[in-house]
Structures are given as structure tokens and as C-alpha cells.
Amino acid sequence: MTNPKHLTKAVSFAAIAIAFLLAAGCSPSSTSLKDLASTIEDGNGSAGTPDTGEQTPTEPSNPTEPSAPSVPDNSYKIEALSWETSTNPERRQWSEYLHKIILDDWNTLLGGADDMSKFCPRYNSLDNDQRANVWAALFSAMAKYESAYSPTSRMHETTMGTDPVTGNPVYSEGLLQLSYQDVQWARWCEFDWSKDKNLAAKDPRKTILDPYKNLYCGVGIMAKQIKNKGLITVGSGAYWAVLKSGGKYQKISEISGMVKKLSFCK
């Protein structure tokens, strides 16, 4: 609210100034009253439209390939994961994405698991960047035996009946072999059957086959398992058969051997 005393002062000062200009033979129109007022009391800031920083979204240049989420520069250089090859450069982006989400979104994993030494004997002496690298190596190794590193891999789960989300038989899909029904309990998973149902079974545009969405969902499932059970390998309640202790399809020694290849785990 404007102070009446200040207003009176402002008006008086302006009147004196105008009278002075007239006495000097100048028209008040030759001097801006706005400029004169600014010498009396500053305004309260710009009245322009604020810049919200928002930009108009653009479509990916190639709609058949999922676009990689932005991964900010990090001084830490992640050691190569098992899926990285010179003929598959996009997989380096998978590695960097895994490292980022483990550090930022699923950092409860950094505390490790009760059987962590089975995969990286020196885990407890590592810093957080290295620990995230270990977990990323674990997921990459799992993907070798779950999907052969293929984002469009699908397998019919013949003993699991009907997926309540799709109304079709249950399929495990993508890098970490996940299912649409997982969204019912793993609410962080971004699989959208309403968008995918009209696409071909192995269309890479399907949300469940997007390598980044698939990895994000799978890392969260592992974080929940570690929180509840404290173990990577479990005998019952295992989500992934390759990590089920004593299971028919377990690949625990192979996966641990791949993770141990990291220089700081030796």
C-alpha cells in the first residue's frame, strides 16, 4: 500500500520541478515525467511476462527407436558393462542411465545386500559411484541370461495364466523380462498397455520394450527385494529365475563372475 506521506512528497517535488522547467523556458513535455518520477521512488520490478523456462516438446527424430533420457555429465567414468560392444554403441547409454538412476532414484541399493560379497568382495570399501557401477554390472549380467541383451525379447510364461492388465497370457518382456501385470504392485513402472495394445508384439515403441523404462522398473523391483529380504539371491519369492538359489534356471555363479571382473571388485 502506498504511504500518503510519500505520495505528498512525490507530488510536491514534481510540481516544483515542473515550475522550475517552465521558469527556465522549457516545456514539461521535453522531459519525461516517468523519468522524473523514477528519481523520486523506484518501482516494484518488471511488469513483463515471466519466463517459465518451458519449451515446446518435440517428437523423437526416429519414432521406432526410444529416445535416451538425458544423463548429465559426471566426472566418474563408469567401467564398461557386459553388454557394451563396438557394434552396439547405444548400450553405453544404457550403462550410464543405470548408473544415474541407481545413484539418484534407487540409492537405497548403495547400502548393499547381505550377499554382496558374492558379487563384489570389496564392495564395502567402495565409494558410491563405484557401488552404483557394481549394481549396474549386476543388471547387465542378468540381462544376458534373461534376454540375451535384446530389448524386444519376449517369453510366454506358460505356468502363470492370464495377465490381468492385458487379458492375454502372461509374457516376460524386454531387457529384464518384466510383465504388464507388474504395474499393479510396482507403481513406479511406466508400462502402458492402453498405448501398446495396438502395436505389434515386438514393436520397439511399446513402453515395456523401451530399454530405459524396462531398466527403471527392474531396478526398482530389485530395490524392493533388498529392502524386504536383504539378499540378491533368494530361494523363495525370487522375481528372476536366474537369481533363484537352487533354481532350475539359476545363473548365479555366471552372473557373479561377470560382476567380479570390475577392476575395483578384484
DSSP string covering 181-201: GGGGT-TT----HHHHTTS-T
Lowest-confidence pick of 48-57, 162-171, 220-229:
48-57
Tell me: the pLDDT tens digits for 128-139?
Answer: 999 999 999 999
**Number of other CB atoms surrounding residue 38 within 10 Å:** 11
Look at 39 and 124; give whichever has higher pLDDT: 124
DSSP 178: B
What is the model's pTM?
0.74
pLDDT of amino acid 212? 98
Tell me: the pLDDT tens digits for 201-241?
Answer: 999 999 999 999 999 999 999 999 999 999 999 999 999 99
Task: Please check the confidence at residue 9 and state whether its pLDDT lies above 80.
Answer: no
Name the band, by pLDDT with cuts 50, 70 and 90, for residue 33.
very low
In sequence order, what are the beta bridge partners of 155? 172
Q: Grid coordinates standing for 251?
A: 545363473
Lowest-confidence pick of 40-54, 137-151, 178-192:
40-54
Task: Please check the confidence at residue 156 and state whether its pLDDT lies above 70.
Answer: yes
Name the band, by pLDDT with cuts 50, 70 and 90, for residue 164.
very high
pLDDT of amino acid 141? 98
pLDDT of amino acid 175? 98
pLDDT of amino acid 153? 98
Look at 260 and 11; give whichever has higher pLDDT: 260
**Number of other CB atoms surrounding residue 189 within 10 Å:** 23
Percent of the chain with pLDDT over 90: 71
Name the band, by pLDDT with cuts 50, 70 and 90, for residue 75.
confident
pLDDT of amino acid 25? 43
* Cα–Cα distance for residue pair 13/147, rounded to 1 Å: 81
Look at 115 and 49; give whichever has higher pLDDT: 115
Instruction: Give 16: exposed, middle or buried? Use CB within 10 Å, 0-12, 13-18, 19+.
Output: exposed
User: Which whole number is the average pLDDT over 74-83?
Assistant: 93
Domains of the chain, by residue range, sit at 8-35, 90-265
Mean of pLDDT over the chain: 81
Given a contact cutoff of 8 angstroms between Cβ atoms, the answer to whether 30 and 20 are in contact is: no
Given a contact cutoff of 8 angstroms between Cβ atoms, the answer to whether 181 and 164 are in contact is: yes
Q: Grid coordinates standing for 184?
A: 499393479
DSSP 85: B
Tell me: the pLDDT tens digits for 88-126?
Answer: 999 999 999 999 999 999 999 999 999 999 999 999 999
The alpha-helical segments, DSSP class H, found in 164-250 are 193-196, 211-229
